[in-house]
Structures are given as structure tokens and as C-alpha cells.
């Protein structure tokens, strides 16, 4: 993780964000706000890309592929996760 990165943001934008955060009762940490916004933007960009890639796939086939992936992930998780007794 980068501990420091310089991003130039206009003073008015910083003041607007600080005012918004203060109105919400948050501590006014602009860096945390920017991090949350960027994470959200990355998530939605990933969703758009996945939708674009899957646009030509039959919905039933896509459901089947998703079901297979979920089953495989669950099977793998149950093999690598200790049971309630710590075994």
C-alpha cells in the first residue's frame, strides 16, 4: 500500500467535501472520502466490464456457469476452512 500519494484537488472541492462530511457528522477526512469514492468507482467499472464481456452469453448458460463457480468455491472453502471444533 502506498502511504503517500499527491493528488491535486482544487481548494473549493476540498472545502465542499469537508462541508459535506461535517454535515453528515463525519470527521472530515477528505482522504478517506476519496478512497471510498475511488473504491466505489472501481467496483462499478468492474461491473460494467463484466456485463460487457457477458453481453452475448445466453442468460441460462450464464446462470449455469455462475452456479458451477459458486459450487466450486464453496467446495474449496469447506476443504480449507476448519470446522467448528478447530479440526
Asked whether residue 57 is assigned to any structural domain, the reply reads: yes
Nearest-5° angle of CA 14, CA 9, CA 41? 90
Torsional class of 32: left (φ above 0), alpha (ψ -120 to 50), beta (otherwise): alpha
pLDDT of residue 79: 79
Tens digit of each residue's pLDDT (9 = 90 or more) over 46-67: 999 999 999 999 999 999 999 9
Asked whether residue 86 is assigned to any structural domain, the reply reads: no
Query: Could you tell me if 36 and 21 are in contact, meaning their C-beta atoms sit under 8 angstroms apart?
Result: no
Asked whether residue 2 is assigned to any structural domain, the reply reads: no
Asked whether residue 85 is assigned to any structural domain, the reply reads: no
Confidence of residue 86 (pLDDT cuts 50, 70, 90): low
Predicted model pTM: 0.61
Give the number of domains in the chain.
1
CA–CA gap between residue 56 and residue 69 (Å, rounded): 19
Asked whether residue 6 is assigned to any structural domain, the reply reads: no
- Tell me how long the chain is: 87
Q: Provide the residue range defining the domain that includes 48.
A: 11-80
Asked whether residue 31 is assigned to any structural domain, the reply reads: yes
Asked whether residue 4 is assigned to any structural domain, the reply reads: no
Q: Residue 45 above 90 pLDDT?
A: yes
Confidence of residue 82 (pLDDT cuts 50, 70, 90): low
Amino acid at each position: 500500500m502506498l502511504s503517500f500519494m499527491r493528488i491535486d484537488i482544487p481548494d473549493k472541492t476540498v472545502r465542499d467535501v469537508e462541508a459535506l462530511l461535517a454535515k453528515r457528522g463525519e470527521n472530515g477526512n477528505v482522504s478517506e472520502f476519496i478512497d471510498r469514492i475511488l473504491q466505489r468507482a472501481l467496483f462499478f467499472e468492474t461491473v460494467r466490464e463484466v456485463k460487457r464481456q457477458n453481453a452475448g452469453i445466453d442468460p441460462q448458460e450464464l446462470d449455469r456457469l455462475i452456479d458451477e463457480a459458486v459450487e466450486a468455491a464453496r467446495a474449496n472453502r469447506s476443504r480449507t476452512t476448519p470446522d467448528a471444533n478447530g479440526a
